[in-house]
């Protein structure tokens, strides 16, 4: 490894080395200035174009710092820079030129002063970003509409705005040998288990990767069971959801350049909760959760069940319903299994096309395309009307699942159930259900059973069951979930 160059008191050497590091980098602006009462002190300022502009140099902490230095005599500059006198700016010092050059890439400015043996990083407004906007996913009827942004610092601040506690900790890591992406772990010091933090750091440090441009990269690297269709990290774009997770004793992982935060540990039940479950009365929250659990079941199994009942076990259907199904299939040239498969693939293509097309056009093609294709296929006798209804209802169920990654698991497993039920009927359905349950029972997220609180509920004296399929009244949910430390489980109690 090449030795690093220490910052010299001779500014010309620093300038030469800095320009050597950033040769052929047109977006890196380097400006030499003469400061001091007699304009006898040479300074060198380096920053990234657009990140810091002339207006910022006049109005921000960086501009005020340079302006203040310009008025000082030479002998006082070293003292000011050493002590960061008057709190002029948020300043960091670097003894090596290479470290200073790397630190500039966070969006701040680097200042060298003649006769001073350190490089100074002066924090500024940083890279441009979209700012705080409404969350595109996880829509709620009641509650905040704020969503995370692409800036890790803004996202951390959005959580701290909601959890104003001195025990809220933010631990910063860097991932990617070339991108040096900032990753923040946000947690409550007295609630989160230390071994969870150690394990996530260990998993992230296990691989050396060029760059991590989104939290999805970190998720894939840190998953324990990489082959599982079920996500082992919960994702969210909502600061209030992340704040709730922190208060439960969980850890929120935020990656720079990504508006999606990861929550760990997690379980199946967490994926079917929404933020407004806690803002609404318990009757409304319980009813909504029952709908989501039913939606998850049918999104995975309904097409397969239809094939099992119509192809193998017709005796379990009422005669009138069976005759109706049979009449609807008159003239359809394809076997029922192929008919269902073609329609499912068509709807998945429409869904994907709707996501990729911009703006209102994507929403339009999803609705209009589904209607046109379904109607045309029925009129052409390519599929029966009942299959269009089954496929449309299955798609509707998958949309009712709050978490997109979790819903995708059911969309994938749906095709496995179609194959099993088309092969051996209802026995294939039972075999699929058993395989899914066995897999879920073996799945863990950082030591927490994936089926919690349906298994291991005794570990929390059955308190976690009060916030599962049925949500008890808020005044009855007095304990934090299993994620929090055992001696810090109480979260609600009456005042004396």
**If you write DSSP's letter for every residue of 400-434 in order, what string do you get?**
TSS-HHHHHHHHHHHHHHHHHHHHHTHHHHHHHHH
pLDDT band at 68 (very low <50, low <70, confident <90, very high): low
Out of 111-115, 121-125, 323-327, 429-433, pick the least confident: 121-125
Average pLDDT value over all residues in the chain: 85
Dihedrals φ, ψ of 121, to 5°?
-95, 120
Instruction: Please report the pLDDT score of residue 33 as a whole number.
Output: 82
Instruction: Please report the pLDDT score of residue 70 as a whole number.
Output: 64
Task: Work out the average pLDDT over 93-115.
Answer: 85
The answer to whether 421 and 305 have CB atoms below 8 angstroms apart is yes
Instruction: Please report the pLDDT score of residue 411 as a whole number.
Output: 92
443: Cα within 13 Å, side-chain hemisphere: 23
**Largest Cα–Cα distance of the chain, in whole Å?**
102
Where is pLDDT greater, at 375 or 148?
A: 148
Is the pLDDT at 318 greater than 90? The verdict is no
Instruction: Please report the pLDDT score of residue 171 as a whole number.
Output: 93
pLDDT band at 330 (very low <50, low <70, confident <90, very high): confident
Out of 258-262, 429-433, 442-446, 461-465, pick the least confident: 461-465
Where is pLDDT greater, at 44 or 375?
A: 44
pLDDT tens by residue, 226-242 = 899 999 999 999 999 99
- Max avg pLDDT among 123-137, 353-367, 418-432: 418-432
pLDDT band at 78 (very low <50, low <70, confident <90, very high): low
Is the pLDDT at 54 greater than 60? The verdict is no
Instruction: Please report the pLDDT score of residue 84 as a whole number.
Output: 56
Can you read off the two tokens belonging to residue 385? Answer: 């009307």
The answer to whether 127 and 52 have CB atoms below 8 angstroms apart is no
Where is pLDDT greater, at 347 or 123?
A: 347
Instruction: Please report the pLDDT score of residue 86 as a whole number.
Output: 46
Handedness of CA 71, 77, 81, 86 (dihedral sign): negative
Instruction: Please report the pLDDT score of residue 168 as a whole number.
Output: 93
Going from N- to C-terminal start, the domains of the chain cover 11-122, 152-266, 282-448, 452-488
Instruction: Please report the pLDDT score of residue 48 as a whole number.
Output: 84
pLDDT tens by residue, 443-477 = 999 989 999 989 888 888 888 889 999 999 999 99
Where is pLDDT greater, at 189 or 129?
A: 189
Instruction: Please report the pLDDT score of residue 62 as a whole number.
Output: 62
In SS3 terms, 106-117 reads as: HCCEEEEECCCC
Residue 253: strand pairing partners? 185, 262
Total residue length of the chain: 496
41: Cα within 13 Å, side-chain hemisphere: 22
Where is pLDDT greater, at 245 or 120?
A: 245
Is the pLDDT at 23 greater than 70? The verdict is yes
Query: Could you give the 3-state DSSP secondary structure of residue 449?
Result: strand
- Rounded Cα distance between 123 and 118, Å, is 16
**What percent of the chain stands above pLDDT 70?**
87
Is the pLDDT at 225 greater than 80? The verdict is yes
Cis? peptide before 265, omega within 30° of 0: yes
Out of 27-36, 259-268, 434-443, pick the least confident: 27-36
Please give the C-alpha separations between residue 491 and each of 198, 249, 494, in angstroms, as whole numbers. 25, 11, 10
pLDDT band at 55 (very low <50, low <70, confident <90, very high): very low
* pTM, two decimal places: 0.85
């Amino acid at each position: 490894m090449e030795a690093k160059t220490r910052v010299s008191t001779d500014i010309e050497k620093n300038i030469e080395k800095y320009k050597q590091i950033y040769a052929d980098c047109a977006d890196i602006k380097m400006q030499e200035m003469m400061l001091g009462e007699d304009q006898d002190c040479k300074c060198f300022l380096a920053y990234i174009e657009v990140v810091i502009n002339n207006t910022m140099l006049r109005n921000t902490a960086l501009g005020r710092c340079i302006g203040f230095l310009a008025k000082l005599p030479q002998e006082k500059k070293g003292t000011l820079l050493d002590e960061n006198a008057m709190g002029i700016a948020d300043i960091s010092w670097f003894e090596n030129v290479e470290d200073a050059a790397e630190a500039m890439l966070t969006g701040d400015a680097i200042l060298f002063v003649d006769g001073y043996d350190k490089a100074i990083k002066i924090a500024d407004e940083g890279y441009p970003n979209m700012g705080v906007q409404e969350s595109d996913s996880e829509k709620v009827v009641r509650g905040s509409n704020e969503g995370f942004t692409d800036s890790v610092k803004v996202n951390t601040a959005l959580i701290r705005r909601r959890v104003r506690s001195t025990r809220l900790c933010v631990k910063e890591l860097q991932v990617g040998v070339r991108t040096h992406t900032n990753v923040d772990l946000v947690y409550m010091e007295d609630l989160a288990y230390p071994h969870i933090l150690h394990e996530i750091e260990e998993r992230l440090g296990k691989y050396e990767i060029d760059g991590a441009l989104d939290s999805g990269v970190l998720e894939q690297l840190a998953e324990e069971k990489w082959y599982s269709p079920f996500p082992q990290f919960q994702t969210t774009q909502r600061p209030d959801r992340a704040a709730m997770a922190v208060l439960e004793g969980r850890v929120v992982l935020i990656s720079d350049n990504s508006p999606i935060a990861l929550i760990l540990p997690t379980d199946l039940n967490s994926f079917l909760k929404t933020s407004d479950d806690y803002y609404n009365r318990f009757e409304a929250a319980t009813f909504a959760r029952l709908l989501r659990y039913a939606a998850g079941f049918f999104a995975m199994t309904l097409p397969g069940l239809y094939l099992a009942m119509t192809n193998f076990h017709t005796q379990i259907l009422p005669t009138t319903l069976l005759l109706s199904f049979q009449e609807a299939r008159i003239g359809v040239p394809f076997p029922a299994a192929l008919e269902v498969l073609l329609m499912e693939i068509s709807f998945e293509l429409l869904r994907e096309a709707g996501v990729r097309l911009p703006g209102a056009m994507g929403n339009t093609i999803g609705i209009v395309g589904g209607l046109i294709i379904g109607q045309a296929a029925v009129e052409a006798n390519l599929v029966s009307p009942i299959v269009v209804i089954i496929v449309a209802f299955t798609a509707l169920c998958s949309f009712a699942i709050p978490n997109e990654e979790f819903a995708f698991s059911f969309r994938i497993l749906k095709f496995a159930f179609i194959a099993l039920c088309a092969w051996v009927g209802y026995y294939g359905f039972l075999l699929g259900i058993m395989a899914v349950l066995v897999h879920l029972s073996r799945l863990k997220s950082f030591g927490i059973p994936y089926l919690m609180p349906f298994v291991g509920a005794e570990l929390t004296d059955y308190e976690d069951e009060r916030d599962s399929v049925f949500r008890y009244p808020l005044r009855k949910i007095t304990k934090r979930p299993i994620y929090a430390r055992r001696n810090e489980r109480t979260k609600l109690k009456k005042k004396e």
